[in-house]
Structure 1
């Protein structure tokens, strides 16, 4: 095992052009969590390239040459011998023992309970990060975002290979049960579903255990492949399901529903901004900290917005909502309301406005 570690230690890190993310690494010890292809490895490698070559070692724990038992015996000795300041354990598994080094960075889909590590979550690209890959910032960029989604690697994949590429990623990263659940959730994007409803649907076509399905559903949520949005003031109510990236819609189903896709895209922007939000009947997103409601209405005009405001007026008065933001594809405007400031804002302006 020491021979392998020496080989890894001497190997130069190769990184193609790196587009900076909103997450920056400093000289702290980190636990970086995120789904497959969210950019964890590139983020870490870019950080390592700014360090002295002899001060770090990068280990991909999926390397088939690694014997975990032997690694646990030799890693600490090796790091002391070569005065390693920064140890990176990419695709970390819990069987590998944590050792004492000045800076430890582990990358994993799942969160591990290691108290001294600073935990950070890396999501696929948001719209502002996506623009770093684009040659021009106009309406074509937003259309491109709809086609590619937030996986950074998608910019290198030809149009005819993108669906199969995403499917391969998911087959490699997920169990068969998790993938079946994810495909069902893709068909139910931005709708209210429970683990039980998933079980009821899948049990008619597959021989499955309810307990195993519930655990797989929870695992998908913990890893971040699906996200659940709670109903305001009803923690036990059925939650709405959103996907980790909009590209999964076309990769896993032939169903078309642009309004749900648009809503999912808005949710992901809110998720990455760490803004607490909830849903309610007729309300896409309620942000209590800013007394704000956000509606996804891609093709709204003043007439349809007026009807929508009438339908949700009771909610606005009950929660004393100060602002209603309607996210559209291209329409801008505003309208008067007794208690709320109402605006229509195109997605590309709203997404980078903060």
Structure 2
């Protein structure tokens, strides 16, 4: 039981932990979320509030772990020591969940094998959380510009510009270790926030890499389960190409010399609406449409009142057909409002909209 004694005697500390929006409750649960979203730091901060002799933290990615011995010895060790809270980080289901007062399984994909375990999701940083990581905030507009550059992964907050691309690429290599995975993620990055089909991705990828359609489909399905990517459907057209959302928007941007501001902004806007529980889709002319609230959101970074009115005029048929009652236009810095027919149009800077109460 040497490895368990070592884990028991030395729990890592969440040095410099910044509070997140989720709180870990005092019962058994599955904390899940995409890679590098901050799950380990959250559980380590939680464990710091529990007496040392009542807790045990095990990281299955520790290269010293002997899994066979661990599976055989773990329950006896918990019972012998009277341990009440056990955290198994990077749990993969290769051995049964230990029995104790509180067990926290930390995974990327939800652990669906036991539907009785409550789920708690941790997504990467939203803009409000990012502000807590910023050491010297100056102005919301400046902070949002930094957020666009560094992305939503906690470890990237505060990284100097001169090191940022290198750190982002190191993260890509860590999350996607094989060359074909890296190539597939790079192919996805090109379509951030845009409609794309899996067949389209496969056709482009097979020109330069040997990959079967089944392997690509399986890879994308796994990434979807791990929360790395999400799809946004076209309204009332389930067979149409879906818009691609990636859980971080700085990694994709770092993979090409040309930047895709619209893709990054779209990913952030859609992510916020989904986080709020909205059932958003897109249409031919509307970037994000909420069929329940009958609201439309358009991304137009440099819009002014004149160009916005012209855009709404061109969309009036679609807006009427969808019974849209309000349109929000996200800009870089401009704010204005007007009524077109019976539709209220409001333009607001992106950094203000993302901080507004729902």
Question: Does the Cα contact within 8 Å between 1:187 and 1:255 map onto a contact in 2?
Answer: no
Question: Does the Cα contact within 8 Å between 2:172 and 2:251 map onto a contact in 1?
Answer: no
Partner of 2:117: 117
Partner of 2:226: 223
Output aligned runs, 1:1-354, within 5 Å.
2-113=1-112, 114-134=114-134, 135-138=136-139, 139-174=141-176, 175-354=178-357
Distance in 2 between residues matched to 1:158 and 1:338, nearest whole Å: 48
Distance in 2 between residues matched to 1:12 and 1:70, nearest whole Å: 20
Q: Unpaired runs of 5+ in structure 2?
A: none
Partner of 2:186: helix, strand, or coil?
A: helix
Distance in 1 between residues matched to 2:105 and 2:88, nearest whole Å: 5
Distance in 2 between residues matched to 1:119 and 1:233, nearest whole Å: 31
| Structure 1 residues 109 and 177: alpha-carbon distance in aligned structure 2, compared to 1, 3 A threshold | farther
- For normalisation by structure 2, the TM-score amounts to 0.94
Per-residue Cα deviation, 1:289-312 (whole angstroms, up to 9, x for no partner): 222111111111111211221222
Q: Unpaired runs of 5+ in structure 1?
A: none
Partner of 1:331: helix, strand, or coil?
A: coil
Partner of 2:82: helix, strand, or coil?
A: coil
Question: Does the Cα contact within 8 Å between 2:150 and 2:159 map onto a contact in 1?
Answer: no
Question: Does the Cα contact within 8 Å between 2:8 and 2:57 map onto a contact in 1?
Answer: yes
| Structure 1 residues 156 and 327: alpha-carbon distance in aligned structure 2, compared to 1, 3 A threshold | closer
Question: Does the Cα contact within 8 Å between 1:29 and 1:116 map onto a contact in 2?
Answer: no
Distance in 1 between residues matched to 2:158 and 2:266, nearest whole Å: 26
Distance in 2 between residues matched to 1:243 and 1:56, nearest whole Å: 35
Distance in 2 between residues matched to 1:278 and 1:15, nearest whole Å: 38
Question: Does the Cα contact within 8 Å between 2:29 and 2:103 map onto a contact in 1?
Answer: yes
Instruction: Return the offset for 1:331.
Output: 0.9
Question: Does the Cα contact within 8 Å between 2:189 and 2:253 map onto a contact in 1?
Answer: no
Partner of 1:343: helix, strand, or coil?
A: strand
Per-residue Cα deviation, 1:216-245 (whole angstroms, up to 9, x for no partner): 111122212222101111222210112211
Q: Any runs of at least 4 consecutive aligned residues in structure 1 with deviations exceeding 4 A, and if so which?
A: none
CA RMSD of aligned residues (A): 1.5
Distance in 2 between residues matched to 1:269 and 1:338, nearest whole Å: 29
Instruction: Return the offset for 1:316.
Output: 1.6
Per-residue Cα deviation, 1:61-104 (whole angstroms, up to 9, x for no partner): 11122222211111111111111111111111121321222111
Question: Does the Cα contact within 8 Å between 1:293 and 1:325 map onto a contact in 2?
Answer: yes
Partner of 1:59: helix, strand, or coil?
A: strand
Question: Does the Cα contact within 8 Å between 1:227 and 1:242 map onto a contact in 2?
Answer: yes
| Structure 1 residues 276 and 21: alpha-carbon distance in aligned structure 2, compared to 1, 3 A threshold | same
Partner of 1:290: helix, strand, or coil?
A: coil
Partner of 2:157: helix, strand, or coil?
A: helix
- For normalisation by structure 1, the TM-score amounts to 0.95
Question: Does the Cα contact within 8 Å between 1:321 and 1:339 map onto a contact in 2?
Answer: no
Distance in 2 between residues matched to 1:262 and 1:156, nearest whole Å: 20
